[in-house]
Amino acid sequence: MIISHLRAFIKFKGDSFLLPSQNPLSSSRFSPHAALLASLLHSNSFSNNGDRPLSRYQKVANLDDAFNLFDEMTQRRPLPSVVKFNQLLNAVAKMNHFSCSLDLFKQMCLIGVPVNEYSMSIAIKCCCQMSRTNDGFALLASCFRRAVVPNVYIFSTLLDGLVIEDRILEAENFFKKLIKQKLCEPDVVMYSTMIKGLCKFGNNDIAIGLLRLMDERGCKPNVVIYSTIIDSLCKDKLIEDAFKLFKEMVFAKGIQPDVITYNSLIHGLCNLCRWDEVSKLLKEMEEDLRISPDLHTFSILVDALCKEGRVDEAEAVIDIMVERRVVPDIVTYNTLIDGYCLRGEMTKARTLFDSLTSKGFVPNVVTYSSLLNGYCRSLKIEEAMHLFHEMTRKGLKPCIVTYSTMLQGLFRVGRCGAARKFFDEMQAQGLIPDECTYGIILDGFCNNHQVEEALSLFHLVA
């Protein structure tokens, strides 16, 4: 049903799906996110100033140019305005040289440039980008000492820094403090940041409470905020609650969903194997709203079908992707390889693996690990060993999952000595065995009647 539905829409008129040459921000179907993205770009400290020509201070191409220009600026008398210094700071930050931008900011302060809230916002953003949010708060304190009034962007940046560092409780307390002490009125970006952090840790009830607070304080939520909560509910398999919120968004608030919203709902339904509803949702997307599935949509379908062993249908979905000019990525192909391996179809898995280079992809650790898992499950341990060594020769570093897969395969064919060697090698590479790895080793020794070896390892771990 999924396949027949997707095929039915391949014959849409030309503008029904996004062509590679199209600008996604120019498409009316993307207007909710496009409008938000445009507003964020213009409010972002590291963005360009609209369509205005770039000044000399904004056009620096590398760090050497930036430092030379800064030295030249500091020699002028009178000093250039803080606006010019800010443009240079921003240019360096946009090159992701956050530490260097901070150094220039410090030198500005030392030579007496009267820094303003824009200078501070760039410096604080740099701190947060380097996971140094505490330093960002120290700069906030200096704002007050310098009589610089922090704006909503500075507070948003610090809030985002706490969320990035997974300091959600601190972020929540900071957000409450801003409101209680009337330091600033949170805007939609601040609410979105806080809700994103809460949902990251499954605090859906608090996130929904914050959504209600937005209404109370006259701040209109957007599609991004609703989609964030819907996605979190779907991940927690609270699909009915997700659809309830979806209906509120569409019918009560008049907010049009986008492909991201639908992807979350489709993913949630796929995880519950509710395929009829997936088909209905795809139909609604394309027929009613003219929202075409994107790479993520197709990847969700491929992954769910492969996990159910419906690899033939997953192949058909990839064929449809190509027909609709949605280019599969390495994640899509990794999923299909894993699907073949789960069904023991190692010839197909290897053929696809070998064809990746001709498709323009380089196999990564996940690709190798999926194929290794297939060989080990099929007890083709020599092929697995050969592939493992090929992987390391190509400069890829096996992860804990790769080693655990190899250990399980070796124990299954009774090669306990080789398994112990792999275990020692894994630790020599600096990888720390997790609970799953230890479980594989203890089970492996016990199943091969090497109880003393298992006990020895158990006491070592204890």
- Spatial separation of the C-alpha atoms in residues 385 and 422, rounded to whole Å: 11
Lowest-confidence region among 7-11, 215-219, 269-273, 342-346: 7-11
Mention every residue, 6+ apart, whose C-beta is less than 8 A from residue 9. 16, 286, 292
Residue ranges in 217-274 assigned as alpha helix (H): 223-235, 239-247, 259-271
Determine the pLDDT at residue 44. Answer: 44
Helices and strands counted in the chain (H then E):
25, 0
Determine the pLDDT at residue 19. Answer: 27
Is residue 147 in some structural domain?
yes
- Spatial separation of the C-alpha atoms in residues 10 and 14, rounded to whole Å: 10
Q: Answer yes or no: is pLDDT of 170 > 60.
A: yes
Mention every residue, 6+ apart, whose C-beta is less than 8 A from residue 240. none
Tokens of 187: 């805007």
Determine the pLDDT at residue 298. Answer: 96
Is residue 318 in some structural domain?
no
Average pLDDT over residues 115-137: 94
Amino acid found at 32: P
Lowest-confidence region among 38-47, 101-110, 143-152, 424-433: 38-47
> By C-alpha distance, which of 155, 103, 159, 150 is closest to 126?
103
* pTM, rounded to two decimals: 0.81
Domain count, the chain: 1
Tokens of 139: 């700069």
Q: Answer yes or no: is pLDDT of 323 > 70.
A: yes
Determine the pLDDT at residue 13. Answer: 33
Q: Answer yes or no: is pLDDT of 2 > 80.
A: no
Query: What are the φ and ψ backbone dihedral angles of 366, each rounded to 5 degrees?
Result: -65, -40
Determine the pLDDT at residue 88. Answer: 92
Tell me the pLDDT band of 58, cut-offs 50, 70 and 90: low
Rounded alpha-carbon distances, angstroms, from residue 222 to 89, 173, 192, 211, 214: 32, 23, 9, 10, 11
Is residue 33 in some structural domain?
yes
DSSP letters for 404-430:
HHHHHHHHHTT-HHHHHHHHHHHHHTT
Tell me the pLDDT band of 66, cut-offs 50, 70 and 90: confident
- Contact by Cβ (8 Å): 85, 113: yes
Looking at the chain, how many residues does it have?
A: 462
Determine the pLDDT at residue 24. Answer: 34
Q: Answer yes or no: is pLDDT of 25 > 70.
A: no
Tell me the pLDDT band of 27, cut-offs 50, 70 and 90: very low
Q: Answer yes or no: is pLDDT of 7 > 70.
A: no
Average pLDDT over residues 437-448: 91
- Spatial separation of the C-alpha atoms in residues 222 and 429, rounded to whole Å: 47
The pLDDT tens digits of the residues spanning 178-224 come to 999 999 999 999 999 999 999 999 999 999 999 999 999 999 999 99
- What percentage of the chain has pLDDT greater than the value 70? 87
- Spatial separation of the C-alpha atoms in residues 104 and 86, rounded to whole Å: 10
- What percentage of the chain has pLDDT greater than the value 90? 73
Q: Answer yes or no: is pLDDT of 26 > 60.
A: no
- Spatial separation of the C-alpha atoms in residues 188 and 172, rounded to whole Å: 16
Q: Answer yes or no: is pLDDT of 242 > 80.
A: yes
- Contact by Cβ (8 Å): 234, 267: yes
Determine the pLDDT at residue 46. Answer: 54
- Spatial separation of the C-alpha atoms in residues 371 and 383, rounded to whole Å: 10
- Contact by Cβ (8 Å): 333, 22: no
More confident residue, 90 or 25: 90
> By C-alpha distance, which of 325, 327, 390 is closest to 363?
390
Tokens of 83: 């606006």
Q: Answer yes or no: is pLDDT of 33 > 80.
A: no
Q: Write the Ramachandran bin of 411: left for phi over 0, alpha for psi from -120 to 50, otherwise beta.
A: alpha
Residue ranges in 308-429 assigned as alpha helix (H): 311-323, 330-342, 346-355, 365-377, 381-393, 400-412, 416-428
Tell me the pLDDT band of 145, cut-offs 50, 70 and 90: confident
Tokens of 421: 């060697």
Is residue 380 in some structural domain?
no
Is residue 242 in some structural domain?
no
Burial 125-140 (b: 16+ CB within 10 A, else e): bbbbbeebbebbbebb
Q: Answer yes or no: is pLDDT of 1 > 70.
A: no
Q: For residue 139, what are the domain limits?
A: 28-164
- Contact by Cβ (8 Å): 410, 443: no
Determine the pLDDT at residue 106. Answer: 94
Q: Answer yes or no: is pLDDT of 352 > 50.
A: yes
Lowest-confidence region among 139-148, 204-213, 260-269: 139-148
Mention every residue, 6+ apart, whose C-beta is less than 8 A from residue 255. 32, 221, 222, 223, 226, 249
Looking at residue 90, which CATH number applies to its domain?
1.25.40.10
Q: Answer yes or no: is pLDDT of 47 > 60.
A: no
CA Rg value for the chain: 27
Burial 48-61 (b: 16+ CB within 10 A, else e): eeeeeeeeebbebe
> By C-alpha distance, which of 423, 451, 404, 440 is closest to 459?
451
Rounded alpha-carbon distances, angstroms, from residue 268 to 229, 243, 430: 13, 10, 37
Determine the pLDDT at residue 43. Answer: 39
Average pLDDT over residues 456-462: 72
Average pLDDT over residues 250-279: 96
Average pLDDT over residues 1-23: 45
Is residue 56 in some structural domain?
yes
Average pLDDT over residues 35-44: 36
- Spatial separation of the C-alpha atoms in residues 230 and 157, rounded to whole Å: 24
Mean pLDDT of the chain: 87
